[in-house]
């Protein structure tokens, strides 16, 4: 079996391409995309006949739509023992965007805000003119096995799309939990499939700052938030680093990128919390020559002591 990839607009990243083709997609096209998506839970490539059966439309109409979707770069076609179709990230993006547009979450897209290891984040506007950030999870950029080892939630035969869906769901859950407990995170607004809409933040990752005014103050704020997440929401981030902390122009921080979170009663909770603390402490030591003993930070974050003196 081999995959024939459509080569329509290959040079732009998927979400940008999707924003371009989005207006060309009609309700019948969405219907076919939806059918492929549902049938993909049983088999990776959905045969044309099966799509037609669910669509209850004449074969020529279904074939016409499939050709259109394929040309727009939203589905992959396989020609092996049978002709079958499967959604790619662009097709999946379309379904999620359509849902978020219908739910009055997104009105229009702007610039790309960040390309991370496993996600693309875009600037967007809500129908009321609020600036929001839209995060598209893109698992599969690093190798499958590596991710499986790293993450507890990957099921044996699920595809990358479904895993990205689960990652977004998890991240949204974690953000809601910590947000309502007053932890500094972007406001979680909505999610659909592998996509999350959240409050837009100005600023840059901590890793980009060569110098900051008062590193003690920033580190204390980070630790205060890790403590709050742990003691009040019982959530451990598990992927804390200088890349997942945004320092805003007002000098305050926000913690982003939560899909790897675990609850405080997780078997490896202690280890993961310690790793988070060590990551951030070693960054402050390296970059700003600020030394804080990990044990001291740990006692503070876990509530053994009330205050952290650094």
Ligand X SMILES: Nc1ncnc2c1ncn2[C@@H]1O[C@H](COP(=O)(O)OP(=O)(O)O)[C@@H](O)[C@H]1O
What residue ranges bind ligand X (CB under 6 A)?
Answer: 113-114, 116-119, 121, 133, 135, 186, 198-201, 205, 243-244, 256-257
Instruction: Report, in Å, the least distance between residue 33 CB and ligand X.
Output: 25
Instruction: Report, in Å, the least distance between residue 310 CB and ligand X.
Output: 26
Quote the tokens at residue 97.
Answer: 């965007």
**Of 47 and 116, which CB lies nearer to ligand X in the complex structure?**
116
276 binds Mg ion (CB under 5 A): no
Give the residue closest to ligand X by C-beta: 116
CA 61 to chain centre: 35
Stretch of 3-11, 90-98, 114-122, 132-140 contacting Mg ion, by CB under 5 A: 114-122
The torsion angles phi and psi of 83, rounded to 5 degrees, stand at: -90, 125
Token pair 């790293």 in the structure block, residue:
150
What element of type H or E holds 275?
helix 269-288
The torsion angles phi and psi of 75, rounded to 5 degrees, stand at: -135, 155
Instruction: Report, in Å, the least distance between residue 126 CB and ligand X.
Output: 13
Give the residue closest to Mg ion by C-beta: 257
Beta pairing partners, 2 = none
Which of ligand X, Mg ion, none lies near 200, with the C-beta cut-off 5 to 8 A by kind? Answer: ligand X
Active site residue 29: no
**Of 205 and 221, which CB lies nearer to ligand X in the complex structure?**
205
Beta pairing partners, 87 = 75
Q: What is the DSSP letter of 248?
A: P
The C-alpha atoms of residue 281 and residue 297 are separated, in whole angstroms, by 9
Residue 106 near residue 132, CB atoms below 8 Å: yes
Whose CA is closest to 62, among 86, 24, 28, 90?
Answer: 28
Residue 179 near residue 240, CB atoms below 8 Å: no
* Exposure string for 14-44, b = 16+ CB within 10 A, e = fewer: bbbbbbebeeebeeebbbbbebbbebbeeee
**Of 174 and 281, which CB lies nearer to ligand X in the complex structure?**
174
φ/ψ region of 191 (left if φ > 0, alpha if ψ in -120 to 50, else beta) reads beta
The C-alpha atoms of residue 186 and residue 172 are separated, in whole angstroms, by 11
Stretch of 36-44, 115-123, 214-222, 267-275 contacting Mg ion, by CB under 5 A: 115-123
CA atoms within 13 A on the CB side of 304: 7
**Of 37 and 257, which CB lies nearer to ligand X in the complex structure?**
257
Q: Contact with Mg ion (CB under 5 A): which of 14, 65, 225, 244?
A: 244
Instruction: Report, in Å, the least distance between residue 204 CB and ligand X.
Output: 7
Catalytic residue among 93, 120, 239, 276: 239
Instruction: Report, in Å, the least distance between residue 257 CB and Mg ion.
Output: 4
**Of 69 and 106, which CB lies nearer to ligand X in the complex structure?**
106
116 binds Mg ion (CB under 5 A): yes
257 binds Mg ion (CB under 5 A): yes
Which of Mg ion, ligand X, none lies near 187, with the C-beta cut-off 5 to 8 A by kind? Answer: none
Instruction: Report, in Å, the least distance between residue 122 CB and ligand X.
Output: 9
Which of Mg ion, ligand X, none lies near 141, with the C-beta cut-off 5 to 8 A by kind? Answer: none
**Of 110 and 215, which CB lies nearer to ligand X in the complex structure?**
110
How many residues touch Mg ion under the rule CB under 5 A: the total is 3
The C-alpha atoms of residue 263 and residue 235 are separated, in whole angstroms, by 5
Q: Which residues of this protein are in contact with Mg ion, per CB under 5 A?
A: 116, 244, 257
Catalytic residues: 239
């Amino acid at each position: 079996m081999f995959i024939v990839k459509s080569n329509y607009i290959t040079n732009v990243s998927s979400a940008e391409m999707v924003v371009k083709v989005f207006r060309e997609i009609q309700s019948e096209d969405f219907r076919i995309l939806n059918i492929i998506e549902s049938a993909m839970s049983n088999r990776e490539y959905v045969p044309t006949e099966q799509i037609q059966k669910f669509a209850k439309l004449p074969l020529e109409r279904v074939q016409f739509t499939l050709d259109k979707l394929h040309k727009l770069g939203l589905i992959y076609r396989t020609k092996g023992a049978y002709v079958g179709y499967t959604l790619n990230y662009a097709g999946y993006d379309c379904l999620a965007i359509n849902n978020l547009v219908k739910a009055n979450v997104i009105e229009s897209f702007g610039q790309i805000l960040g390309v991370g290891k496993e996600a693309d984040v875009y600037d967007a506007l809500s129908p009321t003119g609020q600036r929001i950030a839209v995060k598209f999870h893109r698992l599969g950029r690093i190798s499958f096995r590596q991710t499986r080892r790293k993450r507890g939630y990957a099921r044996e035969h699920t595809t990358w799309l479904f895993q990205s869906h689960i990652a977004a769901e998890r991240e949204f859950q974690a953000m809601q939990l910590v947000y309502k407990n007053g932890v500094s995170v972007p406001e979680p607004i909505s999610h659909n499939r592998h996509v999350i809409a959240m409050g837009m933040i100005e600023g840059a990752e901590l890793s980009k700052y060569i110098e900051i005014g008062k590193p003690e103050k920033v580190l204390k704020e980070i630790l205060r938030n890790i403590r709050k997440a742990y003691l009040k929401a019982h959530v451990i981030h598990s992927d804390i680093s200088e890349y997942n902390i945004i320092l805003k122009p007002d000098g305050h921080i926000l913690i982003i990128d939560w899909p790897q979170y675990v609850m405080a009663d997780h078997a490896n909770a202690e280890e993961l919390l310690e790793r988070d603390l060590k990551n951030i402490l070693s960054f402050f030591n390296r970059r700003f020559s600020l030394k804080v003993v990990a044990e001291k930070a740990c006692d503070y974050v876990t509530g053994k002591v009330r205050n952290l003196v650094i």
